A = this chain, B = another copy of it.
Amino acid sequence: MNAEEAKKTIDQSLNQAQLIMTIGTCSVKYEGRAASKLSNGDRMLIIKKDGTFLVHQSKGMAAINYQGPGAAILTSIDDFGKLTVSAIRKKKGEISEQITVTFQEISFCHSFDLQDDKKIQLFGTEQDLSNLLMNDLHLIEPGLVPVQQESPLAKGHIDILARDRHGALVVIEIKRRQAELNAISQLKRYVEEVSKRKDCKVRGMICAPDISENAKKMLDGYGFEFYKLNYDASHEDTKIKGLEKKQQELTHYF
């Protein structure tokens, strides 16, 4: 396909705010928060009507170069008759960014009018798990009652804050996947902050489907607790299937 032709297609479609797809051999250059270079190869360029700019290679999930919504799109034909398409982002307070795609060959360039105002409904988020646990704190231990959900702290927010039957506060951090070191650090921060403000015993607790070995050691070191949270999120109504306390390994005592 002709470069002039493609340029015309893109320019017109931009005016009409359509989705534009261009496929061809191109090189890509990026300058902004970082910088990148990608030499000639066949790629797919997607320009959405909100300014989203995506360059995809033939493999891999992530766009290899991109620009978020709001980018200004510019097209031009260079001295060698090659089409270049640029996405430029200039926001005050942010680093100015620019991607330039230079096409050697264009095999396809077309625009599509996509009508779609539907929003996705997502189930099984951490928030969902939190809501479920809120109503089932007895699964953890008898007498545990909710104090606050999503308690906003100066430094982050606690998933669930509860009180046990002895009057101690329990900071519960929920993870929808394996808890790792940073989850323990997070919990530590919350427990420290709550301890500073409340004059009572404060327990720290992680509820997650799994925990890494190092994270478990760190957890034990702080005297926190881990509950294995078994759940099924593959349906609209996420279900908690089990919640069992994992004691410290006996080996820790030898």
Chain A positions within 8 Å of B, measured between CB atoms, are 19, 21, 23, 28, 31-44, 46, 48-50, 52, 54, 56-61, 63-66, 68-69, 95, 107-108, 110, 112-125, 154-156, 176-177, 181-182, 185-186, 188-189, 214, 218, 233-236, 238
Contact = CB atoms under 8 A, between A and B. Distances in A.
Contacts of A41: 114-118
Contacts of A185: 182, 185-186, 188-189
Given A118-B38, A234-B32, A52 B44 contact: no
A94 to B, nearest CB: 11
Contacts of A52: 59-61
Given A185-B186, A189-B181, A214-B155, A116 B43 contact: yes
A39 B118 contact: yes
A233 B33 contact: yes
